[in-house]
Structure 1
Amino acid sequence: MKTKEKILETARILFNTHGISAISSKSIAEEMGISYGNLCYHFPKKDDIILQLYLNMQKNVEQQFKSIKEEVINLEFMLSRLKILFEEIYKYKFIYLGITKVVRHFDHIKKHAQDQFDQRWNILDTISGFLVANGYMKPFKDEKQKNMLIHALLMVSNSWISDAEVFYKGADEEKLDYYMQLFFNLVRPTLTEKGLEGFKKVYQF
């Protein structure tokens, strides 16, 4: 692993553990056992580290969303990718815990986040259309009902980490599965018998 990658990985772990505000560039350098000057050669400011981690996270999450869309004809595979998506989000939990502060601090991140939201909305719209057309999901009574469900799913995927940090009371090793269940239960009332069977093959809920 190159120095630049080590800096990013060390920063990610420290930010996840202590939060963005509590960690400085010097803290990251000390944790790595390198000079502050060496770190600044790669990332002159802490903001540069945060921005690169954010971009890395968005790239990885976007790949998972695209995989889900591309494999929509394979329901079991598509659903299994959702867990990988949640794992990827949790890997960068510090961003989601401080997302309001991050987007206010970086104007271009706010615009990027909004663009990503729109792209993911379109992906979920495509998926819901496939599920309805193939008998996995009941037809929506109108466009508003469909849009409300899509927004709720995106809201959970964007904010479950904050909820988990404060309100989750279960075992840590069961945390991800719990929020996957919560995510799936938003969809459950809309599923047909065929859809319920398909979901149960992948995930018990």
Structure 2
Amino acid sequence: MDSTKEKIFRCAIDLFNDKGVSHVTLRDIAEKVGISIGNLAYHFKNKDYIIAEAFGRMEEEKMNILSGVQQIPSFENINNQVEPLLNISKKYRFFFLDTVQILKSYPAIKHKHQAYVENSIRYVKAVLDYSVGSGNMSPEPEDDKGLYWRVATTAWMHLYFWPAEVAIRGKSDPDIGEVKKMMWGVIKPYLTEKGIHNFETIKKEMYASA
């Protein structure tokens, strides 16, 4: 059975996702849980603490996945981890829909979030570097240093911003197959013949599930 603190946390996340952080009060959360505001405040003094807890959990969950990809950076493993990453974003989608406002309102999270973003892109870049070393991607051109950092950033953006894209376009859920295709579309131009051959297996899987 969940503890009271965990119930508060889960109910708060549900409300944040449904209404947006700025439209949810401690009273709303307490009523949804079925406890007094005083009891809620015993576990979380205010919304700042709940949002900080949510960000910490989200960061840990995503970094665990990215670490696993970095340990086994095969194309198949990269492709298979897209859905778990998107599911985490969906779980905490309020954060991605209200990112700018949250970072303005909660400065303590802002610096942690910036570090999280940079670390995430570094993980993607490390996977690209491995792909170069394994012969699946061409070496970065001498006359275009920083190219693969930009490629890593663009691939990361497709994964990070899908909740906003879904909301803006009025979709109910993301088309995970399309997100994968967009991500690989950024990387594919730099694949070697070996890389293209290895990509064919996951390409068939992506289009078969479309």
Is TM (by shorter chain) over 0.5? yes
**Structure-1 residue corresponding to 2:54:** 53
Listed one character per residue, the Cα deviations across residues 99-130 of structure 1 (whole Å, up to 9, x for unaligned) are: 11111122221111121222222222211111
1:176 offset after TM fit, Å? 3.1
Q: How does 1:5-154 map to 2 (within 5 A)?
A: 5-72=6-73, 74-141=74-141, 142-154=144-156
Q: Are 1:168 and 1:175, in contact at CA under 8 Å, matched by a contact in 2?
A: no
Deviation beyond 6 Å, 4+ runs, structure 1: none
Provide Cα deviations, 1:60-80, integer angstroms capped at 9, x if missing partner.
1111111111111x4322321
Cα 1:23–1:55 shift into 2, 3 Å:
same
Evaluate the alpha carbon distance shift between residue 173 and residue 112 of structure 1 in structure 2; reply closer, same or farther with a 3 A threshold: closer
Amino acid of the structure 2 residue aligned with 1:110: K
TM-fit CA distance, 1:154: 2.4
After superposing the two structures, state which structure 1 stretch, 132-141 or 96-105, moved more. 132-141
Q: Please state whether the residue corresponding to 1:143 is helix, strand or coil.
A: coil
Distance in 2 separating the partners of 1:137 and 1:101: 38
- RMSD between superposed Cα atoms in Å: 1.9
Q: For 2:75 and 2:199, how far apart are their aligned partners in 1?
A: 8
Q: 1:204 maps to what in 2?
A: 206
Q: Relative to structure 1, is the Cα distance of residues 158 and 16 closer, same or farther in structure 2, using a 3 angstrom cutoff?
A: same
Contact map agreement 2:166 2:173 (CA 8 A) in 1? no
Q: Is the 8 A contact 1:29 1:36 kept in 2?
A: yes
Would you say how many aligned residue pairs link Structure 1 and Structure 2? 202
Bigger mean CA deviation after superposition, 88-97 or 154-163: 154-163
Gap runs ≥5 in structure 2 = none
1:21 match: secondary structure: helix
Cα contact 2:136–2:191 (8 A) shared by 1: yes
Does residue 165 of structure 2 align to residue 163 of structure 1? yes
Q: 1:8-57 deviations in whole A, cap 9, x for unaligned?
A: 11111111111111211111111121222111110111221111111111
Distance 2:26 2:177 in 1: 34
Counterpart in the other structure of 1:176: 176
Moved more, 32-41 or 181-190: 181-190
The alignment-based identity, stated in percent, is 26
Instruction: Provide TM-score, normalisation by structure 2.
Output: 0.87
Secondary structure of 2:109's counterpart equals helix
Deviation at 1:168, TM superposition (A): 5.2
